[in-house]
Structure 1
């Protein structure tokens, strides 16, 4: 019989399992960023060339259609989503889908900040999806592809009709580069490169379909737009944004780091290679959960389980019998024990989510590290439960 109170012999080589910023790619080093044009204007030829290269490599690796625009924008994924919401909504009704913290945040923006009285909210608790059959596509639709804080993703794009009347605005920040985004069903796609590719923070990516561009050029919202949100001038799209002429000053060091991750992605097979790595990582954790009695996925349906932000809950009967705050304290104790051992950093559940664990399993994480982590998770659970028994 395995003694889970004994510390495992094998440690993860890389203990970084944070859900954002995520782990750097295997083999990453600062030396790989030596070609960054530091101390130069981002509007000079070298800077513009780097930004244009980042856009084109994004298109290649992420398999973005040629007639979609790709822009690098300020303020991470949040900035990219806000630009879309404030610039495009209000032309028609809007369905807001929310099943975790970030989706709920977009609901707050639309209902309480933009104050749209034609907004319809479809919600589901953590671990589940709203009824996608209830979505009204004569409205605009805003949703997250992958719920970063719940580990629940939409299964595919089949629920979105090709002949929709409204726009689909998709926050894809923890899905891009790990899951198949149905671009033919998506009009606005946003992400931040510190998620799946482990880039440095503060930059967002905004991808627009021709339908989204048409909305921008034909519709003027009733509210004023800050400069940082403006995508049009004189009723026309500001095309320079989508050639690398950014609205504000980007960090060329961060851009170089993104390029490094994109080139690595291309070398391992592009999107197919990235998704295969993330799927293999999910399989490791799924196999472990299937044979482990004390833990389960927060996502109730296997078809909607994320292969990046994997959220787990403690289901041990004795722990479940504790008060809610005691259950949360137990989960935090597991997280703290693994952090103290230096085998897993930043794996606690998101602050607004149910108590438990959140383990990043995207493509930059090695499968061998996740296999090693599972033995340490069992050790930490056994050690913390032993402490409870001693205190009783």
Structure 2
């Protein structure tokens, strides 16, 4: 019998540490390891959900497509080389890599819309330059929300099939992770109901935002969401352990023409929870903005695409720090927050510190 360490990569090939993946399987028979990995990969394939998340189904086409959460022809193609980009999202056959090469046609895709609604709903951001209009900001927010909700729904399905297949307890790490993902879906559904109504009525004023403009084209793009529990002074603003409505920040960043844009948005009904944090974000200096995005995007999302020339020019140290932020920074942050809560002090948290790499580097 082979004991898998808590901090070792999970043998299922997910690319996650064992303690955050299949810790419920305490001992794995080495002779059956191949069967275990094969079974999990099959479950991973079967988790796919094909649906159209547009609220009115009457005009849905029959074909559910692999929709891009970041525009393919407009953005991903621009930063790709020979049809490829890098992502901080592992593939089962290469779980140890911090960065993995993806074809641009498969990067950032999810089966969450029919081909009709994917084209019609997002046409104002697909076919027009970014004009900072309420409609475009709303649509970027909407797509970020539904893409992440769809991912969480698939994670719930995977968790359920994994616990059933491997006879895991609902109290195992896998079971508890599935419960957490289910609660996240519920939170997203509450926000989606508000955005669905606004989308149908053309009322795009339900979203507030900060838009940062950079005077050069960046070599990456992506989207992320965060349910922040603390502001930038480490003061608690919400708890994820209650039944209260959870407030989210949605972030989309992309190059366009000779500039780049970052949209940080939230639902207006979250204003009371997020007001202090938003004010702090608005007050960041030019360098602090980059530090904040370098950290927050990487810590919260694997839906980021990078130009090969940006990644291939990273030093080993930069890649190490990137991997730490992507996979381990939350542990340090949780410890820091716990210490500050215990001592009743305020401190600057890592989002506005130099993470040791710079995605805004011009190549």
Superposition TM-score, scaled by structure 2 size: 0.29
Considering only CA atoms, is the larger Rg found in Structure 1 or Structure 2? 1
Superposition TM-score, scaled by structure 1 size: 0.28
